């Protein structure tokens, strides 16, 4: 299973999603560490570590897919 994190720097939030969540876009055109974006990780531990290093103050887990 793949996990996704969505970094939204404008609202200072990072959210963890499962790969089949309806909020995950079907195609990611571009992601930038400084502006944010969607980033995929092969396992939950790596995704959680990336969330901690994202530099945002608000860390959430998706309420729809409950990763």
66 falls within a domain: no
User: What is the pLDDT, as a whole number, of residue 1?
Assistant: 86
SS3 assignment for 11-32: HCEEEEEECCCCCCCCCCCCCE
40 falls within a domain: yes
36 falls within a domain: yes
5 against 36, higher pLDDT: 5
Domain tally, the chain: 1
pLDDT in tens, 18-64: 988 999 988 776 666 667 889 999 999 999 999 999 989 999 999 99
* Residue at token pair 């969505």: 6
Q: Kindly state the average pLDDT of the residues 10-16.
A: 94
Q: Kindly state the average pLDDT of the residues 2-29.
A: 90
Name the pTM for this structure.
0.86
34 falls within a domain: yes
Q: Which domain holds residue 25?
A: 3-61
């Amino acid at each position: 299973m793949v996990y996704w994190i969505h970094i939204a720097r404008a609202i200072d939030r990072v959210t963890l999603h499962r790969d089949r969540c309806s909020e995950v876009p079907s195609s990611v055109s571009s992601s930038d560490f400084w502006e944010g974006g969607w980033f995929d990780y092969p396992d939950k531990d790596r995704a959680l570590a990336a969330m901690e290093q994202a530099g945002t103050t608000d860390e959430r887990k998706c309420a729809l897919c409950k990763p």
